[in-house]
Amino acid sequence: MAIKGAIVIDVERCKGCGVCVSVCPKQVIALSKNVNVKGYNYAEMVNEDCIGCASCGMVCPDGVITVYKAKL
Amino acid sequence: MFNEEIVKPENLVYKKTDVLTDVVMHYCPGCPHGTIHRIIAEVIDEMGIQDKAIGIAPVGCSVLAYNYFNVDFVEAAHGRAPALASAIQRLHPNHHTFTYQGDGDLAAIGTAETIHACNRGENIIIFFVNNAIYGMTGGQMAPTTLVGMPSATTPYGRRVDLNGWPLQITELVAQLPGTYYVTRQSASTAADVRKAKAAVRKAFENQAAKKGTQFIEFVSTCNSGWKMTPVQANEWMRQNMFPKYVLGDIKLEGEIVRPYNPEDSKVIRDLVSVK
């Protein structure tokens, strides 16, 4: 039984500051090549290694990250 | 990438608290104000005091904080937030009045209000966000700017002979008998956020027990004013701000637990001998 996490990012509120990218212990988050409606390169999940530690959610200045965790 | 097996309401670990509104904050990308707002809002949410919390917004970048907190808010004149909070807390002794101030507001124009409110031991919480610069007006030197740190008005770095020493107002108010809990926190990593949240919770609990003034400083960044990316600014803060503004409790339950930073006196001696 493995613990798997997932994050959901509110893309339109994200300002692409990259603080979540720097604190993620599993390098799950990266800034997208695409931009949102304000022109920011928003954060997105790039692999399935998320452990649901919620570090990204805690440091996100705009509170755009929602974190889920489940035992699969 | 979207995993439908994990993203279910029962698996929720972390989401933005409802004590913050859904208004998009006007702060620059990566500004720690948003994180600090959320720390305070989460504590208000967990303690269930949303209807009893009254915030005082300062002048500075956080002047629009009343748009983001889903609690009662009052806007103070520049630096006068502790005076306003004193009055509100005296009129509503069972409410939770807190001020949210930057270093230009609290440590420059509002020094008198801050020191006298702390000295009177008003039962308020002062949240002090120290980014060592006047962020809103374009990065001018603040009282808390570090020696040698460049700013818009000190482009070659702050000079002691011209601009004086950085003001450590948190150590200063810890000396006053009215303060009960004085601490310095940060919000750049998840560990720091957890510690800061515990400190904020303690301050609200002390206030409920009517213990006196609670003073929490957040060492913070201003990536726009410092001309760095948010991640570089956090790293710069860890390397340059933390040796001067040492994190941790300074006064606990009315007793000073860290009297003076010995490194400071060393730095002062070195600079005086250079001059």
pLDDT at position B70 is: 93
Report the CATH number at residue B144. Answer: 3.40.50.970
At B271, give phi and psi (nearest 5°): -70, -35
Residues of chain B where predicted confidence (pLDDT) is lower than 70: 1-2, 260-275
Task: Band the pLDDT of A3: cuts 50, 70, 90.
Answer: confident
pLDDT at B3: 73
Range of the domain at B192: 16-274
Question: In whole angstroms, what is the distance from residue B254 CA to residue B174 CA?
Answer: 9
Judged by CB atoms closer than 8 Å, whether chains meet at B193 and A19 is answered as: no
Give the CATH number, domain containing residue A18. Answer: 3.30.70.20
DSSP state of B147: B
Q: What is the pLDDT of residues B164-181, one digit of tens each?
A: 888 889 999 999 999 999
CB contact under 8 A, B29 and A44: no
Q: Could you report the predicted ipTM of this complex, rounded to two decimals?
A: 0.93
Residue B39 lies in a domain: yes
Residue span of the structural domain in which A62 resides: 3-71
B229-262 pLDDT tens trace: 999 999 999 999 998 888 999 999 988 888 766 5
What's the CA gap between B272 and B12, in Å, rounded?
56
In a domain, B229, yes or no: yes
Count structural domains, chain A: 1
Domain count, chain B: 1
Q: B232 contacts in A (CB within 8 Å)?
A: none
The three-state DSSP-derived secondary structure of B161-201 is: HHHCCCCCHHHHHHCCCCEEEEEEEECCCHHHHHHHHHHHH
Contact between chains at B193 and A47 (C-beta distance less than 8 A): no
- Residue B7 is assigned to a structural domain of this protein: no
A vs B, Cβ pairs < 8 A, gives 106
Residue tagged 């799950």 (tokens): A28
Beta carbons of A5 and B2 less than 8 Å apart: no
Determine, yes or no, domain membership for B8. Answer: no
Q: State whether the Cα torsion B219-B224-B229-B232 is positive or negative.
A: negative
Task: Flag if B24 and A13 touch (Cβ within 8 Å).
Answer: yes
What is residue B203's DSSP assignment? H
Distance from CA of B188 to the nearest CA of A (A): 6
DSSP B149: -
SS3 state of residue A10 = coil
